[in-house]
Chains A and B, each alone.
Chain A
C-alpha cells in the first residue's frame, strides 16, 4: 500500500507542476494578478507532494519491502539502517526522485524569499522552474517509476547496496551535489524571466546573484566530497580522474564560476548583460547535459547508472526543448544594443572578462574531452577516449593563466584603473613571494622543483592580493585605526573563496609532485621506511562487520621512535554480493597523509601492501571547502535583503505576493 500511495503523491505533484508551469505564466502574459499569485502556493504544493513520495519510498527502504523493485535491487535486510536510507539515492530511480525533491525545495525557497520582488518576476521564475519540474516528474513517472513492484515474485532478500556506496561520504555527497546542480536552475529561471520581461538590468542580476552563489557553493562542496570519497574509498589514493561523470559535475561548476563573476560585473556596472544571461542558460544546460550523460549510457563510466537508451532519448528531447527554447528566446529577445556603459582596458571589468574567457574556454575544453568518444564515433573514426593526459595538458595551463589576474582583480577599480597603481600595490610583495617560492621549491625535495615553485608563486600571489585587499579595507578607520565596517559578507566570502582556490592549486601540485608510494610484500614483523616514517606490520586478523567479513592488518607508524599512529587497513568481502572492497587506513594531518591499502594476500602470512606518503593532499579539500563556504557566506550580504527599495516604482503596485 505504501508504494502505491507514494506513486499517487508523485502523480499529484506532477499535476500541480503542470499548473505551476502554465497558470502563472499565462497570468504574467495577461497581467492577471490572481493567476500570478498562485505561483508560490503551487510551488509549495509540488514540494509537499514530492516530499511525501520521497518519504514513502524511504519507508519502503527502511522496512525492507523487497516487493518494490528498487529496494530489492539496492538494499538488503543486513544493511545498516543509515545505508538503507541512503540506498534510496544509490540508484537511477531514487536519485531522480531526490533530484525532483531538491528542485522543488529550491522552488519553495524562491517563493519564500522573493516576496520583495515584482510579482511578474516571481510568477515567471517559479513558472519556469515548474516547467523543469514537469519534465523531470514526467521522466520519473514514465520511464523510471521508483515505486514499481515485483509482484507476485517478491524476492526474500535484496541484492544489497553496492559496497562502494556503503560509506558516510556517499550519504551526503549526492544531496550536496544535486543542491548545486539543481540550484543552477534558479539563476536560469531568473535569466529566462528577465528575457521574457525584456528587463535585463542590474536589478535582475542582483536578484539572482545570491541564488547563484549558494548553488555554486553547494556544487563546490559536492564535488569536493566526491573527490575525497574517491580518495579514501577506491583504495589507491587518487583524487581526480577526469571520469565522464566527474566531468559532468565539473562543467557546470566551471560555467558557474564564470557566471558568479559575470553577475558581479552586471550588477555593479551594468556591463556584460547579454553574456551573463547566456552564461546562466549555459550553466543550467550543462547540469542537464550532465544528467543526460550519466543516465543515458552514451559514455561508459563506473559511476554511471544502468544505461537505458529510452531514458536517454527522453532526457535528450527534454534537453532540446529546455536549452533550444532558451537559446531561441535569447536570440530573439537579448538586447541587441551594446550597453552604453564604458570601461577602459585596464579596469576590474576587463579582469572579470579574462576570468570569464578562461573559465568558458576551460568548460569547452572539458566538454570536448568528455564528448570526444562520441565525436569520433559519429564520424566513424573508431572508438576512442582521451585520457587524463589530455585534460591535464590543457586544463592546468588555463588555470595557471587565470591566477596572475586573480590577485589584481579584488584590488582593481571599476571603470578605469592604471597599471602603475597595480604595480605600486603589488610589485614589492610580489617579489617577496617569488623569493619564497624559489626557496620552498628547493626545500621540498633534493632537486629544484619547477612545478612547486610555480605553484607557490601563483598561490602566494593570489593570497597576497587577497591579504592586501583585506588590509586596505580594515586600515581605513579614523586616525589610522582599524575598522571592520567594510568587511561585508560578500567581501569576506570572496576572500575566503579566493584563498581556497589558492589552497587547492597548492595542494594539487604538491601532492602530485611529492607523492611517495611503495608496493610491497609484508608479513607480520616486517618493517618498512618511507621518508621519515617507519611502518611496522604488527598483526593480521579477521573482523566481522554487519554485512561483511574483513581481513585486517594492524600497522604501527613511528617517527623518531615516537608512535604516530596505529593504522588498520581492511579488505572486506560483502556477504550478499560477494564483492571485495579495499578499506584504506589513513592518518590525516594538515601537511601530510599516511595512506595504507591492502592488496592481495600472498601465501598464508603475508599481504601485498601499498604504503603512501601524500604531502598537503588535505589542502585540496580544505581549499574546496573554503570556496564552497565562501560562496555560501556571500548570500548573507545585507544588500540582497533590502530588495524592495530597488524595485522601480512602476512595478511596486504588484509587488505584494501572497505566500
Chain B
C-alpha cells in the first residue's frame, strides 16, 4: 500500500465537498442582502445612443432589468418572449453584460429591440455589483426602484405567470391560436 495511490481518493473527496456546497448555494437565488435594496448606481454608456447614464435613467417602474449578451445562446431562446412582453407594455431595461457593443447593436437590429434602453456593461462591473451569475437573468425593479425579484435562466410565459405577474397585473396571456379540437 502506497500513499500516492490515495491521491485520487483525496482529490475526489475535495470535489465532492465542493459539489455538496454547490447544492446548498442555489445559483438562482438572489443573495438575501440585495433583496429589497435599491438598484446599485452606475455610470455607463447607453448601448444605442452612446450617452452617459446612471441609475436614474431606469425611471419607468415597475420594470424588468434583463441581463443578456450575444454570446449567450439562451438569450436567443428568450428574446422573442421579451419582445412579446414589451408589446404588452412591460418596460424592460437591458443590461448588456460583458459583450461587444457592435455585436449587441447588430443583434437588436436583427432580432428586434424590446428594451427601453440598454446599459452597456462591457467590463461586467454593474453585473458584479448586482451579483449577476450569468446570462440571461431578469430582475424586477419595483415601483420604489428596489430589487424585488430575480430570475436566473430563460424567462418564458410560465415563469412570468408564476413569479412576475404580481408586479405586472395588466399583462394578459396571449390568445392561443388553435384549440384542442384540431384533432390528432
Contacts and interface: CB of A to CB of B under 8 A. Distances in A.
Nearest to A608: B110
Nearest to A607: B110
B169 interface: no
B21 A331 contact: no
Nearest to B24: A309
A387 interface: yes
Given A296-B23, A297-B26, A297-B28, A331 B5 contact: yes
B74 interface: yes
Contacts of B106: 519
A323 B158 CA distance: 38
Nearest to B180: A157
Max chain A C-beta neighbours (<10 A), residue from B1, B174, B184: B184
A243 B110 CA distance: 24
A383 B111 contact: no
B184 A77 contact: yes
A317 B6 CA distance: 20
A298 B84 CA distance: 30
A580 B182 contact: no
A300 B152 contact: yes
Nearest to B78: A302
Contacts of A234: 73, 76-77
Interface string B158-179: 1000000000000001101110
Nearest to B128: A382
A577 interface: yes
Nearest to A549: B177
A317 B84 CA distance: 43
B28 A307 contact: yes
Contacts of A332: 1
B27 interface: yes
B111 A371 contact: no
A477 interface: no
A448 interface: no
A547 B152 CA distance: 29
Contact of B22 (A236, A278, A377, A546): A377
B115 interface: no
Interface of B is mostly: helix
A547 B178 contact: yes
Interface string A333-371: 010100000000000000000000000000000000001
Interface stretch (B7-15, B44-52, B88-96, B140-148): B7-15
Interface residues of A, number: 71
Interface string A557-588: 00000000000000001011111100000000
A573 B18 contact: no
B157 A78 contact: no
A558 to B, nearest CB: 24
A156 B134 contact: no
Interface string A309-337: 10011001001100110011011101010
Contact of A302 (B27, B80, B154, B157): B154
Contact of B9 (A292, A298, A331): A331
Contact of B18 (A299, A300, A334, A378): A378
28 contacts: A78-B178, A157-B180, A230-B73, A236-B76, A281-B8, A282-B8, A298-B23, A300-B152, A300-B153, A302-B77, A312-B23, A324-B12, A327-B12, A330-B8, A331-B8, A371-B15, A374-B19, A377-B22, A384-B133, A385-B134, A546-B182, A547-B182, A576-B176, A578-B176, A580-B80, A599-B112, A600-B110, A608-B111
Interface of B: 1-2, 5-6, 8-9, 12-13, 15-16, 18-28, 71, 73-74, 76-77, 80-81, 83-84, 98, 106, 109-112, 128, 131-134, 152-154, 156-158, 173-174, 176-178, 180, 182-184
